[in-house]
Structure 1
Amino acid sequence: MQSLQDALYNWLTIKVVYDARPDDMAAQETKEFFEARLKEDHDASVINLEKNGPFYFVDLLAGGEKKRQRFSIELIDALLEQIEAEPDKYKNYNEE
């Protein structure tokens, strides 16, 4: 099982991709997978997401306790930037 921080990092990275590409079925399915991991593995759910300065701040309830994690925008946005730089490698698998 991943740590809570790793699970949040993975969820946030794919959420950023999904928000930029809402028709991307792989991004949607992956986001839903990591949301399930947060809930099932850590009894956690995100209650707020904020982008401020060089960080994303994620507020969550984990085990009934409110927590806040921060992540570097540069690290989180790296996957989206890679996808945008090489869109032919990241086509929606439902597109024909």
Structure 2
Amino acid sequence: MRLEDALFNWLQIQLVAEERPEDRAAADTRDFFLEILTDDHGVTNLLVHKTDDTMIHLKYDKDGRTKLQMYPREAAEQLLTDINQNPKYN
């Protein structure tokens, strides 16, 4: 899995896990993507650094450098929106 894809997948499920702390599957999935990021890509200190009207900024360390990756907020929040709109999950 490409680094950018793993970061985006982690971000989407991180937003779900934050919003739904009782959702064990969300937390497990978040941890799975974090494991991919750390083991396969050498990412450490990953966090959501900033959220503005249009973008979500991730900050992380890789290869001894601090990196910043931005994703469109609407795309990142889409999984949470889909889950919240499906009564089966509420």
Q: 1:19 to 1:40 in 2, by over 3 A?
A: same
Is the contact made by 1:43 and 1:63 (CA closer than 8 Å) also made in structure 2?
Answer: yes
Matched, 1:6 2:5: yes
Aligned-residue identity in percent? 33
Task: Quote the Cα distance in structure 1 between the aligned partners of 2:61 and 2:20.
Answer: 27
TM-score, structure 2 normalization: 0.92
Q: 1:21 maps to which residue?
A: 20
Q: Distance in 1 between matches of 2:74 and 2:19?
A: 16
Tell me, yes or no, if structure 1 residue 75 matches structure 2 residue 75.
yes
Moved over 3 A (4+): none
Once residues 9 and 38 of structure 1 are traced to their aligned partners in structure 2, the CA distance between those partners, rounded to angstroms, is 11
5+ residue gaps, structure 2? none
Kept in 2, the 8 Å contact 1:47–1:61? The answer is no
Partner of 1:33: 32
Write the letter of the residue equivalent to 2:27.
Answer: Q
Unpaired runs of 5+ residues, structure 1, are: 92-96
Separation of aligned partners in 1, 2:47 and 2:70: 14
Q: In structure 2, the residue corresponding to 1:23 is in which secondary structure?
A: coil
RMSD: 1.3
Offset at residue 64 of structure 1 (A): 1.5
Deviations for 1:33-63, whole angstroms, at most 9, x for unmatched residues? 0111110011002145210120000011012
